[in-house]
């Protein structure tokens, strides 16, 4: 007798958990660096203490960026997809975690003439580390991947192009 198949689980669960751990570690290190930067130090007059604090802050941010780099490398190596929401929280250029008000600045832009077109709103997120700006459409819905699009949608496209299927009369 053959064994019955068990419940279908997530493939590459270990890789997903490793990527999740690296992202959580990077976010923790980023918040620690931001808290240390915002906290008033008692020894502001001493130059050596402030230099030591600056080195610690730089080390924390560098370790955070290295964790994000490792997370991206793991997901690329295993060919797993990260969610778009997760990808929007990472700077594509310098691999720093984008935390609003701490490591990034965001604003809504509308570059249409006089800002008349409400559908032209764009969320612009500027990384404070490298200065690069990424822009995302605000109200636009994303197109589904080709494999997940409905058959009705592809049939309408075929009609527009004039494609004739087998068994159809012209």
pLDDT reported for residue 40 = 64
d(CA 122, CA 137): 5
* Mean pLDDT, rounded, for 103-122: 87
Stronger pLDDT, 164 or 94, i.e. the higher one = 94
Whether 161 is covered by a domain: the verdict is no
* Mean pLDDT, rounded, for 132-139: 90
Whether 160 is covered by a domain: the verdict is no
- The domain tally of the chain equals 1
Query: How confident is the model over 6-53, as pLDDT tens digits?
Result: 777 888 899 999 999 999 999 999 999 988 877 765 555 555 567 778
HEC readout, 65-83: HHHHHHHHHHHHHHCCCCC
Whether 170 is covered by a domain: the verdict is no
Whether 6 is covered by a domain: the verdict is no
Q: Which domain holds residue 87?
A: 13-148
Whole-structure pTM value: 0.70
Whether 72 is covered by a domain: the verdict is yes
Whether 21 is covered by a domain: the verdict is yes
Whether 137 is covered by a domain: the verdict is yes
Sign (positive or negative) of CA dihedral 105, 73, 66, 32? positive
């Amino acid at each position: 007798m053959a064994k019955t198949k068990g419940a279908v689980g997530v493939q590459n669960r270990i890789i997903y958990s490793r990527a999740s751990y690296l992202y959580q570690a990077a976010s923790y290190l980023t918040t620690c660096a931001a808290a240390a930067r915002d906290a008033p130090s008692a020894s502001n007059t001493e130059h050596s203490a402030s230099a030591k604090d600056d080195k610690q802050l730089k080390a924390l941010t560098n370790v955070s960026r290295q964790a994000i780099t490792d997370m991206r490398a793991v997901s690329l190596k295993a060919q797993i997809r990260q969610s778009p929401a997760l990808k929007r929280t990472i700077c594509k250029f310098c691999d720093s975690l984008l935390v609003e008000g701490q490591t990034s600045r965001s604003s809504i832009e509308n570059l249409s003439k006089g800002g008349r077109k409400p559908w032209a709103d764009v969320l612009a997120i500027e990384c404070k580390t490298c200065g690069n700006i990424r822009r995302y459409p605000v109200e636009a819905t994303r197109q589904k991947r080709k494999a997940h699009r409905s058959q009705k949608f592809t049939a309408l496209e075929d009609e527009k192009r004039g494609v004739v299927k087998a068994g159809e009369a012209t």
